[in-house]
Amino acid sequence: MTLESTPDSVVSAQSTAPGSEWWRTAVIYQVYPRSFADSTGDGVGDLVGITHRLPALAELGVDAVWLSPFFRSPQKDAGYDVSDYCDVDPLFGTLDDFDTLIETAHSLGLRVIADMVPNHTSDQHEWFQAALASPEGSPERDRYMFREGTGPNGYLPPNNWESVFGGSMWERVTNADGTPGQWFLHIFDKSQPDLNWENPWVREQFRGILRFWLDRGVDGFRVDVAHGMIKQAGLPDYTPPAEGASMGGTGSVDASEFTPLEPGIQDPTAPPEPPYWGQEGVHEIWREWHQVLAEYPGDRVLCAEAWVDPLEKVALWVRPDEMSQAFNFAYMFTDWKAPALRRVIDESLEAFGGVGAPATWVLSNHDVIRHASRLALGADAPPQGAGIGPGSTVKPDRALGLRRARAATSIMLALPGSAYLYQGEELGLPEDIELPDAARQDPTWFRTGGEKYGRDGCRVPIPWEADAPAYGFNATGASWLPQPSDWDGYARDAQEGIVGSTLELYRSALRSRRELNLGGGSVLWLNGYGSSVVAFRNGELTVIANLGPVPVELPVGRVVLASEQIVGGVLPTDTTVWIAPN
Ligand code: GLC
């Protein structure tokens, strides 16, 4: 088959949108500070460590770095429990270290995105401590979600909501005189009380916090649990469909939730939206935040962590006067099947493009099973947040997972819009499924009494050098989560310059993506390759991914990128190729 004889499909998705903001086409690399690089040797990564390793990211070819939280925190949820939003946790360094980091990043041409955690604070935050010390009905209590209990003497929680991490979403406080008091809401751990975003005081504080970091030069924010900040009035009871509290960053979303019916037809069996996710009131907050960012020169980005469904609803969050981007979790959880992928790509381009926002693409982050393992599990993958470990009934096949991950990334990086990478995926890192129970730290593990492994398996410090202590994560060999003994082959220095290594695949994909302006392009579907193939053109480039068992004959052209070795002009299974005209 030649390029010329390939019949173009009637379906052609539009390019992302007009506009020149850098984030519309950017590849954004997520750094999880605990596990990236540790300069002090205490086993936990830090800002100085990140700064030292920034040249490796510039050289990888990404545009921006998103830093998971490094703010002052008791670290009950790995920093997503903030006790001071305007300071760096001593575990990670100082504000001066942050200033050096951002200056270094900018000098290397990398933007820096901070992770804002507005849905909840730590219970150690001075606001929450003041709320506990203040009487019922006080302004201090009104900053959080305090309510009376139900049942005799209020001994039952105000409603039946279940925490994303397991157990009730409510915790009862004890009054100063020792009597049981009110209950407070916590969507996540009880050490993470939810703020009351109906309270203008809370909103004012956060506008100030945004400005604090914008003044220090950040290029934008990833907004944690953006979908949870407003709760339905009256806090009505909610019974989730089957599997836990659903749809938190760590809740349970399975791919079937994103398998749409015919366009425009509502699924009559779909459960109602939980009364704590994706409520209308959030839009007003995004408009306020948009205004704050607009006070600053340059293009600053707001990216929503929004576990809402369907994509048309997510798109409402990125209307021109709200956020800039939202993570595309529908894409992340699409099964490794060509028809499903084609559909979600179309739906994404249509939904985001419909409001003038760039589509985003993501395959891994610090809350999900790494895609080099997840894609080998298929329908056996456990619900999100549950994780996999030594006692799991399913074990991912490493070779199959990596092969699919490389093919999946090669599709993703050819798509128009903005893509997110998670540290270590450029090394092909699998999920660590053998972590000993005693080493686990995710609150999910504790709140479910060990029933769910949680997310530690994707958070293990990454390997830089095959033969160094802690694989070059630090100089001492200490590591807050133990690293597997067989990760030397994944180390960056073991892959550097090695033809066919995952690192070189990412480098070359990112280089070609930039050269060919794929982020600013469009998708034109190509038919004629069969139902197990994803094939499209983006500009001059032809992208073909074979997800089926039968080898696919390739068109004539110059191979720009191949996720596996191509022999004899045919594309083997679980392989993606990029082809340019000769
Ligand atoms: C988000 C974060 C996750 C964290 C949760 C609570 O979903 O990505 O890591 O546990 O929020 O803050």
* DSSP string of 280-294, one letter each residue: TTHHHHHHHHHHHHH
Residue found by looking up tokens 């730290």 in the block: 441
Biggest CA-to-CA distance, the chain? 82
Query: What ligand 1 atom has the least distance to the C-alpha of 187?
Result: 6
* pLDDT at 85 (0 to 100): 98
Q: What three-state secondary structure class fits 114?
A: strand
Give which of 28, 421, 417, 366 is closest to 220, Cα–Cα: 28
Task: Give the chain's end-to-end CA distance (angstroms, integer).
Answer: 15
Extract the runs of DSSP E, i.e. beta strands, from 148-206: 170-174, 180-185
Structure tokens at 16: 């992302």
- State the Cα–Cα distance between residues 408 and 247, nearest whole angstrom: 23
- State the Cα–Cα distance between residues 204 and 392, nearest whole angstrom: 46
The alpha carbons of the chain give a radius of gyration, in whole angstroms, of 23
Q: Identify whether the C-beta of residue 369 lies closer than 8 Å to the C-beta of residue 458.
A: yes
Name which residue sits closest to atom 9 of ligand 1, judged by CA. 367
225 CA to centre of ligand 1 in angstroms: 7
Q: Identify whether the C-beta of residue 234 lies closer than 8 Å to the C-beta of residue 313.
A: no
67 CA to centre of ligand 1 in angstroms: 13
| Binned average pLDDT, 10 residues per bin, the chain of 582 residues | 38 50 98 98 98 98 98 98 98 98 98 98 98 97 98 97 96 95 98 98 98 98 98 94 50 34 41 88 97 96 95 96 98 97 98 97 98 96 93 96 98 98 98 97 95 97 98 98 98 98 98 98 96 98 98 97 96 98 94
Query: CA of 159: how far to CAs of 136, 168, 191, 315, 490, in Å?
Result: 19, 9, 19, 30, 47
321 CA to centre of ligand 1 in angstroms: 25
136 is catalytic: no
- State the Cα–Cα distance between residues 157 and 140, nearest whole angstrom: 21
Structure tokens at 329: 């979790």
- State the Cα–Cα distance between residues 50 and 110, nearest whole angstrom: 13
Residue found by looking up tokens 């993606």 in the block: 576
Active-site residue (options: 295, 434, 467, 496): 295
At residue 569, what are phi and psi to the nearest 5 degrees? 70, 15
- Exposure string of 472-491, with b = 16+ CB inside 10 Å and e = fewer, is bbbeeebbbbbbbeebbebb
Strand 301-304 relative to strand 325-326, pairing: parallel
Look up residue 20 and give its DSSP letter.
-
Query: CA of 296: how far to CAs of 104, 290, 417, in Å?
Result: 20, 11, 24
30 CA to centre of ligand 1 in angstroms: 14
- State the Cα–Cα distance between residues 558 and 231, nearest whole angstrom: 54
Structure tokens at 522: 């469009």
At residue 304, what are phi and psi to the nearest 5 degrees? -90, 130
Name which residue sits closest to atom 12 of ligand 1, judged by CA. 80
295 is catalytic: yes
* pLDDT at 269 (0 to 100): 52
Q: Identify whether the C-beta of residue 413 lies closer than 8 Å to the C-beta of residue 564.
A: no
Residue found by looking up tokens 């068992």 in the block: 549
Whole-model pTM over 0.85: yes
Residue 330 parent element (H or E) = helix 329-332
- State the Cα–Cα distance between residues 574 and 559, nearest whole angstrom: 17
Helices and strands: H and E segment counts in the chain: 13, 21
Structure tokens at 377: 């599990």
229 CA to centre of ligand 1 in angstroms: 13
* pLDDT at 255 (0 to 100): 34
Name which residue sits closest to atom 7 of ligand 1, judged by CA. 249
Active-site residue (options: 81, 123, 224, 347): 224
- State the Cα–Cα distance between residues 408 and 545, nearest whole angstrom: 8
Structure tokens at 80: 């997503």
Query: What ligand 1 atom has the least distance to the C-alpha of 77?
Result: 10
Query: CA of 105: how far to CAs of 99, 109, 187, 220, 424, in Å?
Result: 10, 6, 34, 14, 19
* pLDDT at 243 (0 to 100): 55
117 CA to centre of ligand 1 in angstroms: 8
Best mutation site among 85, 165, 250, 305 for ligand 1, i.e. most ligand atoms within 8 A of its Cβ? 250
Ligand 1 neighbours by CB, cut-off 6 Å: 77, 80, 117, 188, 224-225, 248-250, 305, 366-367
Query: What ligand 1 atom has the least distance to the C-alpha of 119?
Result: 12
* The residue type at 280: E
Count of C-beta atoms within a 10 Å radius of residue 204: 11
521 CA to centre of ligand 1 in angstroms: 32
Best mutation site among 80, 190, 221, 247 for ligand 1, i.e. most ligand atoms within 8 A of its Cβ? 80
Query: What ligand 1 atom has the least distance to the C-alpha of 165?
Result: 10
Count of C-beta atoms within a 10 Å radius of residue 426: 27
* pLDDT at 252 (0 to 100): 34
- Sign, CA dihedral 237-243-244-249, equals negative
Cα 227 from chain centroid? 14
Q: What three-state secondary structure class fits 470?
A: helix
Helix axes 47-60, 502-515, angle to 10 degrees: 60
Look up residue 228 and give its DSSP letter.
G
497 CA to centre of ligand 1 in angstroms: 36
